[in-house]
């Protein structure tokens, strides 16, 4: 302290603008009390808020309950030595800065401490300026690394926000295309939304990365986009299709794939595969190419299953909904024929989740549209 009782000025320019030394909490760790007393006196004289610990274990206990900005630590201590303490605190760097103090003039030991995250190394017997400079440099580096982490976190957040904006704009284009096909078909907007949600949930069940989950959530609703190219006389026919009409109806798969083909956007690329293959069957009896088993893209197998489930369980303007037990019995019967049996197993294992999606996103029909 100087004559008026204020902390003694530091012998170097203070490197933390906006922070006073009294705001910095330093923990002095040394098994020799005489060394701790000397360091504490030195640091407190310059205004730092200090605490002390006699070994590594006591240090960890203190740090579990108190905020510490910098640890000034001896290397050679009984029990947990300084290097072991640095390793134990490595995951908390740079929130905590660590400066080593040791009587061992051992370059290899110094480098080992620095490799594991220590910010500096001071030899005993130390001078006041050596300690203060090491402390100031450690705190300065800590501040810079924390600022870098904050900037990195802010940049990552901005990138995420921009990614979401771009994704939303691309998905809006896709949804407008889907909307155009809905106006010509008997499906509902809620149906295609549910298909995306079911498919995304199946992706999570299969432990997909979240990016792939988002892809199939946006892509699966485009499965029937090719119906925009099917003539109204066939698409809206109330009775059974003729053989010729059925051949034309089947072309909605390849037409959908052609609409979405050659995109550079991942979810539209996936949408093209789904549109092309969602009527292929596990046993090879589907169309348009008669693919079998795992020859069918996984996203198309998923969409096939959830599309059939949703079509059967829900009301349409041309039919009443099936009872839930009838739908589940049908899916069970078609496992290994129409559907991938592994996906059917996952579907039944997590059925309450799919059931909840169906209940939370109901169709909206005008009363005059409902079948008798």
Summarised one tens digit per residue, pLDDT across range 65-83 is 899 999 999 988 888 888 8
Nearest to 271 by CA among 253, 288, 289: 253
Question: Taking a C-beta distance cutoff of 8 angstroms, is the pair 252, 227 a contact?
Answer: yes
Nearest to 205 by CA among 24, 103, 344, 39: 344
Contacts of 305 (CB under 8 A, 6+ apart): 202, 331, 339, 340, 343, 344, 347
* 131 φψ region: left (φ > 0), alpha (ψ -120 to 50), beta (else): alpha
Question: Taking a C-beta distance cutoff of 8 angstroms, is the pair 238, 318 a contact?
Answer: yes
Other CB atoms within 10 A of residue 80 CB: 17
Q: How far is CA 111 from the centre of its chain?
A: 36
Give the Cα separation of 314 and 320 in Å (integer): 8
Other CB atoms within 10 A of residue 240 CB: 7
Structural fold of domain 183-369: Hypothetical protein af1432 (1.10.3210)
Contacts of 350 (CB under 8 A, 6+ apart): 201, 205
**21-151 is classed in which CATH architecture?**
3-Layer(aba) Sandwich (3.40)
pLDDT score at 143: 85
Give the Cα separation of 193 and 278 in Å (integer): 17
Give the Cα separation of 266 and 263 in Å (integer): 8
pLDDT score at 368: 43
Residue-level length of the chain = 372
Sheet holding 49-53, edge to edge: 49-53, 25-29, 70-74, 97-102, 120-123
Strand partners, 29: 53, 73
Residue with tokens 């579990």: 64
Residue range(s) of every CATH 1.10.3210.10 domain in the chain:
183-369
Per-residue pLDDT of the chain (372 residues; tens, 9 = 90+): 555 555 665 555 555 655 678 888 999 999 999 999 999 999 998 889 999 999 999 999 998 889 999 999 998 888 888 889 989 998 888 888 999 888 766 667 778 888 888 888 888 888 888 888 888 888 888 888 888 888 878 887 887 777 777 667 666 666 666 665 555 555 557 888 899 999 999 999 999 999 899 999 989 999 999 988 888 888 877 778 899 999 999 999 999 999 888 888 888 899 999 999 999 999 999 999 999 999 999 999 999 999 999 999 998 766 789 999 999 999 999 999 999 999 999 999 999 999 999 999 888 754 444 444
Question: Taking a C-beta distance cutoff of 8 angstroms, is the pair 257, 272 a contact?
Answer: yes
- What SS3 state is found at 335? strand
Residue range(s) of every CATH 3.40.50.2300 domain in the chain:
21-151
Report residue 232 as tokens. 């109204």
Residue with tokens 């440099």: 137
**pTM exceeds 0.85, yes or no:** no
For 280, which DSSP code? -
Contacts of 198 (CB under 8 A, 6+ apart): 220, 306, 309, 310, 354, 357
Give the Cα separation of 313 and 320 in Å (integer): 9
């Amino acid at each position: 302290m100087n004559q008026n009782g204020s902390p003694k000025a530091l012998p170097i320019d203070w490197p933390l603008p906006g922070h006073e030394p009294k705001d910095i909490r330093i923990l002095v760790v040394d098994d020799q009390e005489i060394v701790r007393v000397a360091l504490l006196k030195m640091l407190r004289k310059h205004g730092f808020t200090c605490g002390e610990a006699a070994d590594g274990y006591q240090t960890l206990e203190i740090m579990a309950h108190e905020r510490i900005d910098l640890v000034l630590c001896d290397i050679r201590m009984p029990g947990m030595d300084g290097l072991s303490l640095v390793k134990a605190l490595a995951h908390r760097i740079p929130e905590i800065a660590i400066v080593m103090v040791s009587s061992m003039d051992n370059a290899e030991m110094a480098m080992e401490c620095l490799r594991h995250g220590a910010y500096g190394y001071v030899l005993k017997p130390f001078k006041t300026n050596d300690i203060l400079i090491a402390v100031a440099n450690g705190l300065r580096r800590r501040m810079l690394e924390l600022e870098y982490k904050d900037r990195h976190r802010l940049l990552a957040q901005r990138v995420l926000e921009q990614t979401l904006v771009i994704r939303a704009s691309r998905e809006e284009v896709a949804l407008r295309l889907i909307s155009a096909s809905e106006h010509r078909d008997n499906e509902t907007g809620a149906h295609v939304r549910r298909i995306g949600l079911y498919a995304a949930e199946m992706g999570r069940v299969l432990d997909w990365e979240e990016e792939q989950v988002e892809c199939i959530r946006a892509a699966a609703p485009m499965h029937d986009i090719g119906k925009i190219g099917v003539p109204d006389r066939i698409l809206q026919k109330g009775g059974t299709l003729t053989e010729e009409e059925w051949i034309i109806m089947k072309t909605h798969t390849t037409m959908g794939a052609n609409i979405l083909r050659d995109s550079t956007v991942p979810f539209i690329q996936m949408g093209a595969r789904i549109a092309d293959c969602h009527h292929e069957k596990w046993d090879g009896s589907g169309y348009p190419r008669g693919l079998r088993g795992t020859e069918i893209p996984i996203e198309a197998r998923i969409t096939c299953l959830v599309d059939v489930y949703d079509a059967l369980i829900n009301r349409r303007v041309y039919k009443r909904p099936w009872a839930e037990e009838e739908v589940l019995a049908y899916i069970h019967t078609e496992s290994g024929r129409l559907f991938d049996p592994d996906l059917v197993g996952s579907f039944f294992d997590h059925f309450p989740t799919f059931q909840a999606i169906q209940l939370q996103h109901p169709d909206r029909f005008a009363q005059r549209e409902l079948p008798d």
